[in-house]
Amino acid sequence: MKIGNVEINGYAALAPMAGVADRAFRELCADFGAAYVVGEMVSSKGIVYNSEKSLELLELTESERPAAVQLFGCEPDVMAEAAKIAEKYNPNVIDINMGCPAPKIVCSGSGSALMKNPELCGEIVTAVKEAVAVPVTVKIRKGWDKNSINAVEVAKICEQAGASAVTVHGRTREQQYMPTADWDIIRQVKEAVNIPVIGNGDITTAEEAAKMYETTNCDLVMIGRGALGNPWIFREIEMLIGHDRPSMPVSNAEKISVLLRHVQRLCKYKGEYNGMREARKHAAWYFKGMHNAALLRKMSGQIEKFDDLVELCKTIVS
């Protein structure tokens, strides 16, 4: 598939998870076959006001491309100005967040709150599209709540405003991340627009990815929580869909090897102090399903240095 003029070669993308989809994790997922990655959402006002923390989130490395930066905000002019600045970091795509359910984001009128104002969604896309040369995409939800299921309407408005693709998460803002995602709304959007549609929600295995393709006819699937502690899900999807055969089960030894590689990158980009604090949650995800997982998760919450993690991992491999 193509997003504008950007070629996407593969079957699954990494979702823009705040506090998780940083450079280290995006690179790792790309190593395992993620065909496209989207960075953590960045405040448009933070960018315009020259926030160092916001600008850092725009940084991309060559090994993770094709990659998008994702902006959030609710003011078309501010979003356009932020997009101009973001474009200087050479993203392949600029994505607009219209789906985040976090109260802090919603209370400002951004994220999934935009689903309540389809016309404003279109105005934002128009403003950003006119401000930059790279393709502009949007990520939306099923709707705001059960009484306002309007993903099809919003997707059509965004397409008309110039969006090059739309990602649909199959839940309303009211539902947050529960219950089961509604894949039928993804199918409905796909049938209603002529731009690529990326399906998102409840994909934790390669088999589920294949099922989403079959039931929705989407152009690409996007993996969020299913990739936590499990970056090889992209390899598994590639093997099943691209080569029609399952991958070999991942051994504990490989899990530990990948975890250490992941945390080394975290420390490289954020320094050991901050990197190891980030590593605690990732280690807990990697330990899921292992013998004594509960104890391992508890111990991972106490690690201070990279060497501490290495010593903990030695007890698992042995």
Q: Which residues are catalytic?
A: 100
CA 299, 301, 307, 309 torsion: positive or negative? Answer: positive
Q: Are 105 and 70 within 8 A, CB to CB?
A: no
